[in-house]
Amino acid sequence: MSAFDAIIIGAGHNSLACASHLQKRGWRTAIYEKHEHPGGAAKTLELTQPGFRHDFGAMNLNLFAGSAFHKKYVNELKSAGLEFVPATECFSSVFPDGRWLGVSTDLEKTAGRIKQFSASDAEIWSELAAGFPQEVEAIGSILGSPMSMRSIAGNFWRIWRSKGTAGTLELLRLLLSSPRAWLNETFDSEQVKAMMAAWGMHLDFAPDIAGGAVFPYLESMANQNFGMVLGKGGADSMTSALTAFYSNAGGTLVTGAEVSEILTEGGTAKGVRLANGEDIHASKAVIANVTPGALVSTLLPQGTGSQKFDSAGRKFVHAPGTMMIHLALDSLPDWKAGDELKSFAYVHLAPTLDTMASAYTHAISGQLPDMPVVVVGQPTVLDPSRAPDGKHVLWIQVRVLPANVTGDASGELEPASWDDLKDRYADRVLDIIESYAPGLRGKILGKSVFSPSDMERENPNLVGGDQICGSHHLSQNFFFRPVPGYARWNTPIDKLHMVGAATWPGAGVGAASGFMLAQQLAGG
């Protein structure tokens, strides 16, 4: 029987970061991945035609570039091939009346665009941008720390010393506010509000969900101040670099190897059993990058021994689903609002707060939204290496959708499985894009559609197409993620831990849960 200090289940970026740091601290580790390719949802594949490289899920690598893990191991990752492509024209929103707004790293350009909608909003935007470096340090200290009373108390003490009582309460209020509440009290223009609120929809925060205001604020201001980065050649450049770094550190990565069971004895994790029947021993830790439901219902047939934990794991709430549409294009979309939109990494089609709120309400009630939030990524604007010369890929994310369809808000489609509905619903999405960019269909050289069901088949952690592996609403975030009392990547079983988007601090490619757990276990 093979033996290691630690065994990690799943080869997502959190697993790779965790195992790499453990290796650097002298642990012997092994990662077992069911899929033939590591990376989880952060991978790049030729999904339409040869030579066209499409990011399966994650595209924006800002969180990884700014992560504590990247900061510590920047030289090793660079040597392993990690290369970023910067974007100065970051994101934009286009509106039905033919106007648009976009955020560039040039503050004067951004403020000038906003001024066309509201002069006072342009001033407020500039003030927020100026104060962001100090604010992000405070927010980052919370979102980037272990979720323990000691850590939180220390962070808020330092924040209070820096900002005073009024400033600390203002920050706490931001963390608890809904996007609509914060945007309404901060800005006048409905277009400015919609442009920012679209980021909340990336993370399960419709306009009226408490706790969601901080994400539109963070994304908007981070892009304004620091820009955006993509991975050169695809998001898998991050995965490839992590894999090479891990291998160089002496780690063992086994793909095409499904873990069927976690082995326990006397309330302690002892190793794993593979689907082929082989048992692998772990002397110090078993680390599972899976959903809470999969942990307690599949990998632990007898449960953890804690009825409270097991029940909460089975009831873990997943966010609405996502559809991905990947297009190989002869040329970029011709946006009616203006050719300048062709220079942006992202174009959001989410024209109003009410449109976003309606789409979310439809999705959680099982209805197909008549007007979903459509995120159009144009990565080849920044990174031509992803397509043959002169050609382009389009990365289209459709948010938010029901996992199981019970109806259609537009009344056009009868309830059916996603396998039966996905092509017809994808046509609806393309119709929406065509209304902003006529002639898009005539540019398509190849198309690949992943419904919410397809997303889960490709990656079991994306339950119902939930790309963020669990709702981030306040009742399932901070001390409550993934289960109340177990926010430090622990479980009721000794030496059994969890990492990944289902755990604190949640979704994104910041490698935070994996790195913080590794530091907790091995120091450094």
- DSSP characters over 233-247: TSTHHHHHHHHHHHH
- Say how far apart CA 462 and CA 57 lie, in whole Å: 10
Are residues 360 and 442 in contact, defined by beta-carbon separation less than 8 angstroms?
Answer: no
Q: Encoding tokens for residue 75? A: 């030289």
Q: Of the candidates 84, 399, 376, which has an alpha carbon nearest to the alpha carbon of residue 228?
A: 84
Cα–Cα–Cα angle for 139, 142, 148, rounded to 5 degrees: 170
- Please check whether residue 318 is in contact with residue 403, taking contact to mean a CB–CB distance below 8 angstroms: yes
Crossing angle between the packed helical segments 190-201 and 179-186, to the nearest 10 degrees:
150
Q: Rounded to a whole number, what is the distance in angstroms from the first to the last CA of the chain? A: 30
| Residue 13 to residue 9: CA distance in whole angstroms | 12
Of the candidates 516, 451, 449, the one whose C-alpha atom is nearest the C-alpha of residue 489 is: 516
Q: 428: Cβ–Cβ under 8 A, 6 or more apart, which residues?
A: 410, 412
Residue 103: strand, helix, or coil:
strand
Which helix (H) or strand (E) is 450 found in, with range? strand 444-450
pLDDT in tens, the chain (524 residues): 589 999 999 999 999 999 999 999 999 999 999 999 999 999 999 999 999 999 999 999 999 999 999 999 999 999 999 999 999 999 999 999 999 999 999 999 999 999 999 999 999 999 999 999 999 999 999 999 999 889 988 988 999 998 999 999 999 999 999 999 999 999 999 999 999 999 999 999 999 999 999 999 999 999 999 999 999 999 999 999 999 999 999 999 999 999 999 999 999 999 999 999 999 999 999 999 999 999 999 999 999 999 999 999 999 999 999 999 999 999 999 999 999 999 999 999 999 999 999 999 999 999 999 999 999 999 999 999 999 999 999 999 999 999 999 999 999 999 999 999 999 999 999 999 999 999 999 999 999 999 999 999 999 999 999 999 999 999 999 999 999 999 999 999 999 999 999 999 999 999 999 999 999 999 99
Tokens (6 digits) for 462: 């994306």
What's the CA gap between 104 and 318, in Å, rounded? 33
Domain with CATH 3.90.660 in the chain: 43-62+84-105+227-231+320-467
Q: Which CATH number fits domain 2-34+256-316+468-522: 3.40.30.10, 3.40.50.720, 3.50.50.60, 3.30.360.10?
A: 3.50.50.60
Locate tokens 């604007």: which residue? 381
In the chain, residues under CATH classification 3.50.50.60 are 2-34+256-316+468-522
Cβ 125 vs Cβ 110: under 8 Å: yes
The CATH T-level fold of domain 43-62+84-105+227-231+320-467 is Polyamine Oxidase; Chain A, domain 2 (3.90.660)
- Cα 274 from chain centroid? 29
Residues 6+ apart with CB under 8 A from 106: 88
Question: Residue written as tokens 């990492």?
Answer: 499
Strand, helix or coil at 138?
helix
